[in-house]
Structure 1
Amino acid sequence: MFARVSLWVSLLSTAALLFSSASRAQDGALIEVLGTLIKPPCTANFPTSQNVDIPKTNLNSLNSDVTGWTDVSLDFQCIKGSQVHLRFSAGNGSFDSNTLRTTLDRLGLRTRLSDMTGTLKVLDLKLDEQLIFPVDGTRLKLQLSVRPVKTEQELPAIGSYSSTLLMEMTYL
């Protein structure tokens, strides 16, 4: 008889536990989170990664500081009233706020940024500083330019060189 009562008590206890946990589950809340993805306010009309070939430069031009600029177009198509935030960083280090280091000692690449959207305007490009461009129309047309420069009195060795410039873009 003791075993039967014990069995009944166990079954009733288990049933009570099942019902109490079921009632707790019913007290919970369901939170549904919804969202919508939209396209960014601007689209870059240039490759995300590109190689820029600088024409061969002779040491006399480098010594006289008369090397030519090599240009890269940076065009953006935007929604009217948006903003483009840009930050340029030297991937291999820099000599100063606008001269990239190269793989050749004593040779740098001077950088320049121009706004070609309306009237040509050369901007004050400083590496690692953010530039903000309000887009009045629907297009922002920039031009990044680089040119080889010597960084010391002594000329660099003859040979091939490279450098890396990173560009961070944010659209608002």
Structure 2
Amino acid sequence: MNAWLILILVLSSTVALAQPASTVQLDVNGRLIEPACRLQFNTSMEVELGSANINQLKDDTVPVTEIPLSFDCRAGSGVSLVLTAAAGRFDEVTLLTNRPGLGLRLIGEGSQPGLTLGQPHLWTAGETPLVVSLRVKPVALETLPEAGTFTATLLMQLVYP
């Protein structure tokens, strides 16, 4: 008798577990908006730095190349720019190139410090287009590099906070 009671309890609990699950509906909605800024430059750029000789690298007299980045933004919009060295970095302002001993340094203007790698740089747009000046120059790292061509890739991430 006890065996039948236990079997009936087990079967009844199994039947209870086999009930169909409840259906839940989750409605999701949102809205797509225009970005706060439009880039006024190509999303992929090649910049020609020209030629520099080894003596200029040794004396740190290679000319700076200026790359203006222009953004057409709604007035009052915030813009955050984070720069990343695709092939790695030597320090917080110097990208590694594909040529051993040669880096590409981000340079400030006057007493203004240059942009740094991996850190967000914040601006607030005014009534006119926002122009960020990216200034770079090749530099010797720990030893002078051999002569030859070089490349470096800088990635830019834009965030509109």
CA distance in 2 between counterparts of 1:102 and 1:31 reads: 50
- Sequence identity (%): 36
Which position in structure 1 is the counterpart of 2:59? 64
Which position in structure 2 is the counterpart of 1:160? 149
Q: Indicate if the aligned counterparts of 1:113 and 1:142 stay in contact, CA closer than 8 A.
A: no
TM-score (normalised: structure 2): 0.78
Q: Which has the higher helix share?
A: 1
Q: In structure 1, what residue type is equivalent to 2:122?
A: I
TM-score (normalised: structure 1): 0.73
Unaligned stretches of 5+ residues in structure 1: 1-27, 115-119
Number of residue pairs aligned between Structure 1 and Structure 2? 141
Larger Rg: 1
CA distance in 2 between counterparts of 1:124 and 1:136 reads: 22
Q: Indicate if the aligned counterparts of 2:56 and 2:62 stay in contact, CA closer than 8 A.
A: yes
In the alignment, structure 1 residue 169 sits paired with structure 2 residue 148: no
Partner of residue 94 from structure 2, selected from 91, 99, 102: 99
Deviates most, 121-130 or 72-81: 121-130
Q: Decide whether aligned partners of structure 1 residues 149 and 137 sit closer, same or farther in structure 2, where only a CA change above 3 A counts.
A: same
Unaligned stretches of 5+ residues in structure 2: 1-22
| Cα distance per residue 1:105-157 (max 9 Å; x no partner) | 1111111356xxxxx883442110111111132421111011011012x3211
Task: Give me the CA root mean square deviation.
Answer: 2.3
SS in 1 for 2:155: strand
